[in-house]
Structure 1
Amino acid sequence: MSKELKIAVVSGGKSRERPGSLISGKAVYDSLIKQGYRNSYLADPLEKNFINNLDRADVVFIVLHGRYGEDGKIQGYLETVGKPYVGSGVLSSALGMDKNYFKILLGTAGIPTPRFEVLPDKLSVHKFTKIMKRLGIPLFLKPISEGGSLGSNVIHTSEQFINNFKEFKRQGFDRFLVEEYITGRSLTVGVLQRKSKIVVLPILETISKKEFYDYEAKHDSKLHEYRCPASLNRVTTKRVKDLARKVFELIGCYGFNRVDFILDNKTNIPFVLEVNTIPGMSLHSNMVTSANAAGIDYDQLVIEMLNTAFNRPRYLP
């Protein structure tokens, strides 16, 4: 691969995950420059000359998170203009971003995921009480199309739900689901495609100092602790890794992704929570930590990801 490649590292954007994306993008850019890819440059969708910056690139390294970056939109543009880019295509990105359709797909494939219900635009206390009886209390309230646990909250009472629902609506969140709360261990698994081989990285366990591993806990090292590889027995380790691979293949991911699980304390069943088609790439992110545990350092991981732009199938959904 030529060191003269013009590589646009796309980060920032207008989603609520902009701060984390900027950190990831800068880390990727610094790594490329350090490795001699001197024509690399940062590109932010909020810049006026963003499209020109994409057009002059030989390849695009997408490090956007959330809407407009991880949901298939920028992938669709790059497919249309024939520009090589790293990572998953349009369909898998869109499926990974929409929790409703993703969980429906998991159900059809027999992959365990917490029970859930999509909420209507207008929701009465009576309706929510019926949902509580079916799913139990506490439960999660989650925006359908947000990543990074943004907007997710644990609900203990109908009053708390109504207050949170109204506040999230005020903040601009539009579609929601509620999900049963499963007490267990928070696990995440990175998947990396190296040429034609799919490699499942060591399982990472996160111990959060908050009620759950929310957006704040994910981005504040004082609020979480990582254990990688996670201390799991052989059977559970195999089951979690097999499920991570199955999810990767099920929604048609390409190059890399990260799958989040909750390991039920009572049954020891791993439930899939969500998939991240563009994992965080800060120096101490989940994906990077898992890769390090597999003997892949940061610079090597960046190059592995970059390679996916040139080895991708001619048609990728």
Structure 2
Amino acid sequence: MSTDVKALGKVAVLMGGTSAERPVSLMSGQGVLEALRSQGVDAHPFDPAERDLGDLKREGFARCFIALHGRGGEDGTVQGALELLGIPYTGSGVMASAVAMDKVMTKRVWLAEGLPTPQWRRLGAGQHSLEAIRTVPDALGLPVIVKPAREGSSFGVTRVNGYSDMKEAVSLAAQYDPDVLCEEFIIGDEVTCPVLGEGDAAVALPVVRIQAPDGNYDFEHKYVSNDTRYLLPSGLPEAEEREIQRIVVQAYRLLGCRGWGRADLMIRASDRKPFLLEMNTSPGMTSHSLVPKSAAHAGMSYEALCLHLLAQASLDGRSAAEAAGH
């Protein structure tokens, strides 16, 4: 599949931004920028934290590669701005981005369609009293995972092993988001599975099995240290891998995602049942990131992946080619 690089026009790689994930986004964006330039794309870095998005229109950018993570980049807001500017962009549209960023809303959608996700309780802004917090382990058992409802890269996430640690965990998560998600802890294998495409054409890439020291896949083990193992091939039985891919594509389609995404799951050790944790609509593209690793295993280089995603850039309901004709 060859791409006419010149037809892509002037490209902005959106990176940085104002979320807690800014440092990761800058790494992702730099990788994407270099990859696109190596393929002859007229690509330029653009940090919405330092520049007005209106400059994209004024400076004649034809499309955007969104390498922003977290709030302001992955939650539908920048997507909405680009819709109004009429500049096609990579990844999911406004609604899918907004829903997927909110882990509670994501679970509600999946559960409504019968997809498996761990049991959970939401503690809203006014529900952080000791009495409210103490009911969570009663309902979900221990250990329990406590995290912000709308944040990524493991920020504000705590594995709580006892009642006495709940208050501190909720306070930490609440620093990132007033809505705190408490989730049943699934003991077993941690896996992730990327998806490319849209609708019926969406396809899952190979499953990646994650082995972090002591099962603690936190920010440090995601982006900094080299002692986390990523198993590709996953080593899972073929039928199990296929079932995970099937569930992930279904989860992706249900949220209305397009372009690309990556679902994180746990496989319960006791019965090998997979549980969906979340859907990332603007996954990392750093040297440690999992979508490039999975794509490489499927025979797609980092450069080819970046070019493919850029070529698929669109607006809600319109392709880049249609948008250019308006």
Out of 159, 162, 176, the residue aligned to residue 157 of structure 1 is 162
CA distance in 1, matches of 2:315, 2:52: 29
Q: Does 1:139 align with 2:144?
A: yes
Q: Is the 8 A contact 2:198 2:253 kept in 1?
A: no
Relative to structure 1, the CA distance from residue 202 to residue 51 in structure 2 (aligned partners, 3 Å threshold; closer, same or farther) is: same
Counterpart for residue 51 of structure 1:
54
Relative to structure 1, the CA distance from residue 172 to residue 44 in structure 2 (aligned partners, 3 Å threshold; closer, same or farther) is: same
CA distance in 1, matches of 2:45, 2:95: 26
| Pairwise CA distance, 1:214 | 1.7
Q: Does 1:306 align with 2:307?
A: no
Q: Is the 8 A contact 1:184 1:265 kept in 2?
A: yes
Opposite residue 126 of structure 1, the aligned amino acid is E
Q: Does 1:234 align with 2:238?
A: yes
Following TM superposition, where does structure 1 have runs of at least 4 consecutive aligned residues deviating by more than 6 angstroms? Answer: none
TM-score, scaled to structure 2: 0.91
Encode CA deviations 1:45-75: one digit per residue, 9 max, x unaligned: 1113443135421101101000000000000
CA distance in 1, matches of 2:47, 2:83: 19
TM-score, scaled to structure 1: 0.93
Opposite residue 306 of structure 2, the aligned amino acid is V
Counterpart for residue 105 of structure 2:
101
Gaps of 5+ in 2: 320-326
CA distance in 2, matches of 1:311, 1:74: 12
Counterpart for residue 178 of structure 1:
182
Opposite residue 23 of structure 2, the aligned amino acid is P
Out of 125, 129, 132, the residue aligned to residue 127 of structure 1 is 132
Counterpart for residue 37 of structure 2:
33
CA distance in 2, matches of 1:157, 1:181: 13
Gaps of 5+ in 1: none
**Aligned residues with identical type, % of pairs:** 35
CA distance in 2, matches of 1:61, 1:284: 19
Considering only aligned residues, what root-mean-square deviation do their CA atoms show, in Å? Answer: 2.0
Counterpart for residue 324 of structure 2:
none
Question: How many residues align structurally?
Answer: 314
CA distance in 2, matches of 1:128, 1:258: 31
Counterpart for residue 293 of structure 1:
297
Q: Secondary structure at the match of 1:100?
A: helix
| Pairwise CA distance, 1:175 | 1.2
